[in-house]
């Protein structure tokens, strides 16, 4: 049966696009290199028709399917389990930009397109696709959709769900749903699009999407501001909202320890301040009028922040290269943390108003129960998404510290739930948080999710063991 199945896969794809044995290796290990699974094969279709044919074949043979984009996920959602019974369906060959409509402000891209590829195509058309992630050179549109990616510009433009107008999907039965409609209004029944976005490939395989484009801003300004605490950062955020309104594009919070790690492991990255401060805010404005207008808004925020003793120091980028240098500090945090050693990550979201209180209380709780642990706290303060990560105390091996991961996760996630938050903001649940989410979602909510899964994937072949 296995031999027949693989032969039929090869007949659909061509021998060169069905990977077996050692050729599968890069598709079987997760991004953080914590888990390596096994698979029957890695299938690499060239188009939607081939995806549909492979899915129909898997349905006939009852072979599970693990959809995979750039494999940059952090919750073990895009690699197979250890059973070796599934195929990995890689969409990496599907990189066609099917259409750009500048009057409708839409771009239609296949799921294997790199995020950076879509950004550059929009820029060539004098448009902006605003999703921005540190992994944009390796993550794919399909992966972004499957986790409802957010990034640094959610405050103004929203997450991937808000940036998507239509989808093309291969269902669990191998049928093709053509929902590639560039419509801003379409109230003709259930919103199927939003079911598949954020579902991590458990309901069907997204093969293409109609994405929203925006006018290129007339000016972008970036500023790095030193603040005394997350409470001060929240007060500064309120000032920025009052004075900048929709021009406020990014508002990132970074603790000093985050940037100490960046400077330690990437010495070319340096803070532009003479002294250190407890916290930093990276703020970006995108203005449709002019750089002068944007600078007036930024100066108004800075002056008000200084008068209220919220800002202790500030620097404004005077060129694109300086702006990129400031953003590089933020983008190197994850890499610096990885270079420091194994760590415990939390991708959480909270009501913006409660973030500072959460940090104060949870920091104290962890120090009491796990003395000396080092907090690597940063994230998208403007939209409530916090990367609340925990590193081992100095002198303790990272391997020994990771043995406390379940206990630390429990403390952090219980407090997230206490403050009305979510244990996954933009990374998804994958296999890593699949069981844990049951602690925080009601029985009614889980039952509805499970009913949707059964209705759309009755054989449980679509990325089984993930999400639900």
CB atoms < 10 A from the CB of 300, how many? 15
Query: What pLDDT does residue 48 have?
Result: 98
- Note the pLDDT of residue 147: 95
What is residue 320's predicted lDDT score, i.e. its pLDDT? 84
DSSP 8-state assignment for residue 216: P
Mean pLDDT score across all residues of the chain: 95
399: confidence class by pLDDT, cuts 50, 70, 90: confident
3-state secondary structure of 1: coil
Tell me which residue of 197, 188, 187 sits closest to 158, measured CA to CA: 197
Contact criterion met (CB below 8 Å) for 143 and 78? yes
Q: What is the three-class DSSP state of 466?
A: coil
Please tell me the distance from the alpha carbon of residue 392 to that of residue 390, in angstroms, as a whole number.
Answer: 7
> Taken in order 301, 306, 311, 317, is the CA torsion positive or negative?
positive
Average pLDDT over residues 80-107: 97
From its phi and psi, is residue 189 left (phi > 0), alpha (psi between -120 and 50) or beta? left
For residue 256, pLDDT beyond 80: yes
Going along 304-451, which residue ranges are E strands? Answer: 311-316, 343-344, 347-349, 374-380, 385-391
**Start-to-end C-alpha separation, the chain:** 29
CA distance 242 to 231: 17
Contacts of 339 (CB under 8 A, 6+ apart): 261, 265
The C-alpha atoms of residue 81 and residue 464 are separated, in whole angstroms, by 9
Residue 37 carries which DSSP code?
Answer: -
Interatomic CA distance for residues 91 and 88, integer angstroms: 10
For the chain, how big is the Rg over CA atoms in Å?
23
Q: Round to whole Å and give the CA distance between 450 and 467.
A: 10
pLDDT bracket for residue 31 (50, 70, 90): confident
57-83 pLDDT per residue, tens: 999 999 999 999 999 888 999 999 999
How far apart are alpha carbons 302 and 316 in whole angstroms?
10
So what's the pLDDT on residue 318?
85
Q: How far apart are CA 42 and CA 45, in angstroms?
A: 10
**Measured distance CA(371)–CA(282) in Å, rounded:** 30
**More confident position, 32 or 348:** 348
Task: Output phi, psi for 376, to 5 deg.
Answer: -110, 90
Checking if the pLDDT of 326 tops 80, the result is: yes
Name the band, by pLDDT with cuts 50, 70 and 90, for residue 363.
very high
What pLDDT is recorded for position 180? 97
**Which residue from 226, 230, 234 is spatially nearest to 302, judged by alpha carbons?**
226
Domains of the chain: 2-90 (3.30.43.10), 97-215 (3.30.465.10), 219-334 (3.30.70.2190), 341-427 (3.30.70.2740)
Share of the chain above pLDDT 70, in %: 100
Q: Give the single-character DSSP code of 50.
A: H
Q: Is-contact 387 346, C-beta < 8 A?
A: yes
SS3 297: helix
Please, which residues have CB within 8 angstroms of residue 102's CB and are 6 or more apart in sequence?
Answer: 125, 126, 127, 213
Percent pLDDT > 90 in the chain is: 91
Name the phi and psi angles at 163, rounded to 5: -95, 5
Q: How many CA atoms lie within 13 A of 241 on its CB side?
A: 13
- pLDDT value at position 442? 95
Q: Binning pLDDT at 50, 70 and 90, where does residue 456 land? A: very high
Could you give the strand order of the β-sheet that contains 18-19, starting from the edge strand earlier in sequence? 18-19, 41-43, 87-90, 65-68
> What pLDDT score does 139 carry?
95
As a whole number of angstroms, the distance between CA 12 and CA 227 comes to 58
pLDDT in tens, 436-450: 999 999 999 999 999
DSSP category for residue 219: E
Return the sign of the alpha-carbon dihedral for residues 430, 434, 436, 442: positive
Angle between helices 320-331 and 333-340 (to 10 degrees): 40
Output the pLDDT for position 90.
98
Q: What is the pLDDT at residue 135?
A: 86
What pLDDT is stored for residue 342 in this prediction?
Answer: 85
Q: Is 15:62 a contact under the CB 8 Å cutoff?
A: no
For residue 1, pLDDT beyond 80: no
Short-list 172, 170, 171, 175, CA closest to 208:
170
pLDDT score, position 59: 98
Pair 314, 300: CB distance under 8 Å? no
Q: What's the confidence (pLDDT) of residue 282?
A: 97
């Amino acid at each position: 049966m296995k031999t027949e199945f693989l032969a039929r896969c090869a007949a659909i794809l061509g021998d060169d696009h069905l990977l077996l044995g050692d050729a599968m290796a890069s598709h079987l290990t997760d991004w953080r290199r914590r888990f390596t699974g096994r698979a029957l094969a890695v299938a690499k279709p060239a188009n939607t028709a081939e995806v549909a044919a492979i899915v129909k074949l898997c349905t006939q043979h009852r072979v599970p399917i693990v959809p995979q984009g750039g494999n940059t996920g952090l919750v073990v959602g895009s690699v197979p389990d250890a059973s070796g019974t599934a195929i990995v369906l890689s969409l990496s060959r599907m990189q066609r930009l099917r259409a750009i409509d500048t009057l409708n402000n839409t771009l239609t891209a296949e799921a294997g397109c790199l995020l950076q590829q879509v950004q550059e195509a929009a820029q060539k058309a004098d448009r902006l696709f605003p999703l921005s992630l540190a992994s944009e050179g390796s993550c794919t549109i399909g992966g972004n959709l499957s986790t409802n990616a957010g990034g640094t510009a959610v405050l103004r433009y929203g997450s991937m769900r808000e940036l998507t107008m239509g989808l093309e999907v291969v269902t669990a039965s191998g049928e093709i749903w053509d929902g590639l409609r560039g419509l801003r209004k379409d109230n003709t029944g259930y919103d199927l699009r939003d079911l598949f976005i954020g579902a991590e490939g458990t309901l069907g395989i997204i093969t293409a999407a109609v994405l929203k484009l925006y006018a290129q801003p007339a000016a972008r300004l970036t500023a790095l501001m030193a603040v005394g605490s997350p409470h001060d950062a929240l007060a500064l955020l309120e000032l920025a909202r009052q004075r900048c309104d929709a021009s406020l594009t990014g508002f990132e919070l970074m603790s000093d320890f985050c940037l100490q790690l960046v400077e330690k492991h990437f010495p070319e990255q340096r803070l532009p301040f003479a002294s250190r401060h407890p916290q930093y805010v990276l703020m970006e404005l995108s203005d449709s009028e002019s750089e002068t207008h944007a600078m007036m808004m930024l100066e108004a925020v800075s002056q008000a922040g200084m008068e209220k003793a919220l800002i202790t120091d500030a620097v404004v980028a005077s060129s694109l290269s300086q702006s990129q240098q400031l953003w590089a500090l933020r983008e190197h945090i994850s890499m610096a943390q990885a270079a420091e050693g194994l760590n415990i990550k939390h991708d959480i979201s909270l009501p913006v108003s409660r973030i500072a209180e959460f940090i104060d209380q949870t920091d104290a709780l962890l120090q009491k129960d796990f003395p000396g642990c080092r907090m690597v706290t940063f994230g998208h303060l403007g939209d409530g998404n916090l990367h609340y990560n925990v590193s081992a105390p100095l002198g303790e091996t990272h391997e020994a510290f990771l043995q406390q991961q379940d206990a630390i996760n429990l403390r952090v996630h219980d407090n997230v739930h206490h403050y009305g938050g979510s244990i996954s903001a933009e990374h998804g649940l994958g296999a890593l948080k699949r069981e844990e989410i049951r602690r925080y979602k009601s029985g009614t909510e889980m039952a509805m999710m499970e009913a949707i899964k059964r209705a759309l994937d009755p054989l449980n072949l679509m990325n089984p063991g993930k999400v639900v």
